[in-house]
Chain A
Amino acid sequence: MIAVRAAARLRVNKNEPLLPVAPQAAQAELKPLLLRMDRLCGLSVVVVEKLLAEHSSLRQDFSVADVGIVVGTAYGCHKTDEEYYVSYLQGQPSPRLFAYTLPSAPSGELAIRHRLRGAGFTLSLGRTSGMNAVAEAARLLSSGHVSACLVVAVEVADPAFAQEEVGDAAVALWLSKIDDQPTDGSPQIVTTMEVFVDGAPAKAVEQVLARTKPSPGVWCCDETTWALSKEAWILRQFSTVNAPGGAASGLWCLCEQHQEAAESRGYLCADSTGYAALVVLSPGRLQVT
């Protein structure tokens, strides 16, 4: 079984400093790090700091060599790319910025910060990437490649030419493989499902729903997913959440709706190209910071 042991989320205004929203006890350590790294990494590091500040006992159970990191981001390092590109156009390309022109940079910074050497990767596919990250982390756990896994969905505001409004936000989940029912009431991942139907998000959602067994008691999604998939949701009970956009949306919704869930719930995310991803959690109490 794979339990979602804890979660943290962070939503800040564009250009709002990150240090004040970090846990106070960690601020002195984080200050030089946040000055060095880009905002995508900063959001990722701060949200995980929030997670571990509230749930420090989680990590003690595991060897750091065995903890994986899977990151999902739709627009990735677009802001840093822009800043680096300007430095290049001005004839002085910045080596510091260039090191962060990879969507996988947050994974590297998190590994360094917490000495995590487990398997992991970054998915940069679109707004379903956060949900895709949970599905891939679940596969890493179930196959025994890692014993615990940090999943982070992160976005930085205002990507040029984005197809939706995106805010600065990050969500972190701590997943672990367990043999027995969790004693702390944590929900478990019942199933994950992903389907691509080219150009037809409503059809993709229909297929995701049709293939999901057992069907959850309640379906939840963010408002963009709802707008994209209305046709498929007729006659179904649903709940929508005002999410921050991009890859953080799906997991934001999950954090919002699963803090006290008396029934299993399916969290859905879709994008306009026709990719839909679903995570179903069992009843439980997700501890969200």
Chain B
Amino acid sequence: MERVVITGLGVLSALGSSPDELFRRLLAGETGVRRLPALIGTPIDVGPLAAASLPGNPDSDGNDSNENGQAILSEQPRAGRFLSFSTEQALRQARLFEPSSRDRLRVGACVGTTLGEKAPWLFGLAQKAQGNAPSQVLFGCGLLARQLAQHLRAERLSAISTACCSGNSALALGLSWLRHDVCDVVVCAGVDVLQPFVISGFRALRAQSADVCRPFDRRRSGVNLGEASACVVLEKETVAASRGQRVLACLAGAGLSKDAHHMTAPDAQGRGACLAMQRALFDAELSSGSVDFLSSHGTGTPFNDLMEGQAFARLLGDRVLDVPVHSIKGSVGHCLGAAAMIEAVVTVCILAHQVIPPTVGLEEVDPQISLDLVCGKPREARVRCVVSTASGFGGENAAVVLTDTSMGKRPS
């Protein structure tokens, strides 16, 4: 089976509008989480958020920044613009931005999201209630995938949803398309933007932290919601080689599973998450002994982080304290459908630079969690093989194995 390689990365997040900027600020221990003045005046206390801004690309309603939260309260479509921004970056790095560069390639577009482009539809509903319904409102997860496919002139597309692990699921689908030879290149993206709709829901579930979140910390109390778009260009190794394209890393395997336990709470034993990671390693033809680093979901909720501690212990056994773990949720917030895709982007940066950013917000590790957590400052480490895992509502779990180019499957 031919190797699948990563040749382009793109990101727009609260902590940067390029992979380099994001990684530099993660290493510096910065956070993009803050309270937004405009939202403090809304009917519900939304807590601190990690809001992102489109650089040099003002919203059509005049709000070019989320500094005061106005963009989040807007009914204008934002997810599509976020998606365009990160995919353009990734395509430029992969030297696939110009349409002519894709002429002879079978291109696929795969978008992972939980909400899709929801704001215009919600606005339409409000108008409908007032007897002033718009004639047509395009909405949903599929709209974003179509937008990307139109831009790419892709012949294959998908909008995939597995709640907060949708980003990893999009990578898994892209990997499958390439292995089954239905595409030569797959542009995988994860995107979700902040909206009162979703902020109020997490608030209703009492899942939001009143302060900057503290993944794996004894005092953790919930998530900070964030927004982002991230993009990873996948292609067959032979296609990248024929184009003379530099390979950034390999997507060696992917694994999906379900907890079959509860709609909003994870399996406390971490069996489902562990199963997804084991499946990803099996898919990559690697063992848990190969893992050098774990990129956690690490949302900062009491249940998730405890579950992940159990899952990592199940996966690694005696090695659990030998493998470093981090979470970036304290830096970029929990970006839902984009979360795992950002983590994939950061993981590729870690493989390139051999340094692991710290877990912002973590000060005192929960004594119930026995992991080698990277906190306080960045850690230099030899990292060749990474498992990046994510979980979501409905008991969804998705993990991917990313390696440097010295590992992974070779063409048979």
Q: Chain A residues in contact with chain B, CB under 8 A?
A: 64-65, 69, 74-76, 78, 81-82, 84-85, 88-89, 91, 93-95, 98-105, 107-109, 111-112, 114-126, 129, 132, 136, 139-140, 142-143, 145, 160-161, 163, 194-198, 273, 275
Contacts of A109 in B (CB 8 A): 263, 394
B176 touching A143, Cβ below 8 Å? yes
A102 touching B393, Cβ below 8 Å? yes
A195 to B157, CA, bound (A): 8
B114 touching A102, Cβ below 8 Å? yes
In the assembled complex, 27 residue pairs joining A and B whose CB atoms fall closer than 8 Å, in A order, are A69-B258, A82-B125, A85-B122, A85-B197, A88-B196, A93-B44, A93-B201, A99-B264, A99-B393, A101-B197, A101-B198, A107-B162, A109-B394, A111-B258, A111-B259, A111-B394, A112-B263, A114-B260, A119-B255, A120-B258, A121-B161, A122-B162, A123-B161, A139-B176, A139-B180, A143-B179, A198-B150
A53 to B203, CA, bound (A): 40
Query: Chain B nearest CB: distance from A84 CB in Å?
Result: 7
**Interface: B269 (CB within 8 A):** no
For A199, give the chain B residue with the smallest CB separation: B150
Contacts of A116 in B (CB 8 A): 258, 260
Contacts of B121 in A (CB 8 A): 160-161
- 1/0 contact trace for B151-164 toward A, CB 8 Å? 00111111111110
With A108-B395, A125-B157, A139-B176 as given contacts, are A84 and B201 in contact (CB-CB < 8 Å)?
yes
B204 touching A105, Cβ below 8 Å? no
A160 touching B128, Cβ below 8 Å? yes
Contacts of B44 in A (CB 8 A): 93
Query: Chain A nearest CB: distance from B202 CB in Å?
Result: 8
Query: Chain A nearest CB: distance from B20 CB in Å?
Result: 31
Pick the interface stretch among B134-142, B218-226, B302-310, B352-360: B134-142
A161 touching B124, Cβ below 8 Å? yes
Contacts of B93 in A (CB 8 A): none
Contacts of A69 in B (CB 8 A): 258
For A65, give the chain B residue with the smallest CB separation: B275
A76 touching B141, Cβ below 8 Å? yes
With A84-B201, A102-B394, A112-B395 as given contacts, are A117 and B259 in contact (CB-CB < 8 Å)?
yes
**Interface: B382 (CB within 8 A):** no
A81 to B139, CA, bound (A): 12
**Interface: B396 (CB within 8 A):** yes
* Segment 311-338 of B: residues with Cβ below 8 Å from A: none
**Interface: B367 (CB within 8 A):** no
A132 to B149, CA, bound (A): 16
The number of residues on chain B lying at the interface, defined by a beta carbon within 8 Å of a beta carbon of chain A, is: 72
**Interface: B410 (CB within 8 A):** no
* Segment 156-195 of B: residues with Cβ below 8 Å from A: 156-163, 169, 172-173, 176, 179-180, 182
B157 touching A196, Cβ below 8 Å? yes
With A84-B201, A143-B179 as given contacts, are A125 and B145 in contact (CB-CB < 8 Å)?
yes
* Contact pick for B283, options A100, A126, A145, CB 8 Å: A145
A121 touching B160, Cβ below 8 Å? yes
Contacts of B275 in A (CB 8 A): 65, 117
Q: Chain B residues in contact with chain A, CB under 8 A?
A: 43-44, 114, 116, 118, 121-122, 124-126, 128, 133-134, 136-142, 145-146, 149-150, 153-163, 169, 172-173, 176, 179-180, 182, 196-198, 200-206, 255-264, 271-272, 275, 279, 283, 392-396
Interface centre among B145, B158, B272 (most CB of A within 10 A): B158
Contacts of A122 in B (CB 8 A): 160-162
A98 touching B205, Cβ below 8 Å? yes
Query: Chain A nearest CB: distance from B397 CB in Å?
Result: 9
B150 touching A123, Cβ below 8 Å? no
Contacts of B202 in A (CB 8 A): 98
Interface centre among A75, A89, A102 (most CB of B within 10 A): A102
For B118, give the chain A residue with the smallest CB separation: A81
A136 to B262, CA, bound (A): 25
A101 touching B163, Cβ below 8 Å? no
Contacts of A120 in B (CB 8 A): 162, 256, 258
Contacts of B198 in A (CB 8 A): 101
Query: Chain B nearest CB: distance from A189 CB in Å?
Result: 13
B396 touching A136, Cβ below 8 Å? no
Interface centre among B150, B161, B180, B205 (most CB of A within 10 A): B161
Query: Chain A nearest CB: distance from B246 CB in Å?
Result: 28
Interface centre among B163, B172, B203 (most CB of A within 10 A): B163
B43 touching A112, Cβ below 8 Å? no
A117 touching B257, Cβ below 8 Å? yes
A196 to B142, CA, bound (A): 13
A160 to B203, CA, bound (A): 26
> Top 9 A-B pairs ranked by shortest CB distance?
A108-B394, A98-B201, A119-B256, A111-B258, A95-B204, A125-B142, A124-B141, A161-B137, A93-B200
Contacts of A194 in B (CB 8 A): 156, 182
Contacts of B200 in A (CB 8 A): 88, 93, 98
A196 to B395, CA, bound (A): 32
For B196, give the chain A residue with the smallest CB separation: A88
Contacts of B279 in A (CB 8 A): 119, 145
A42 to B267, CA, bound (A): 23
A111 touching B260, Cβ below 8 Å? yes
Contacts of B264 in A (CB 8 A): 99
B395 touching A123, Cβ below 8 Å? no
For A115, give the chain B residue with the smallest CB separation: B260
A103 touching B161, Cβ below 8 Å? yes
A114 to B395, CA, bound (A): 13
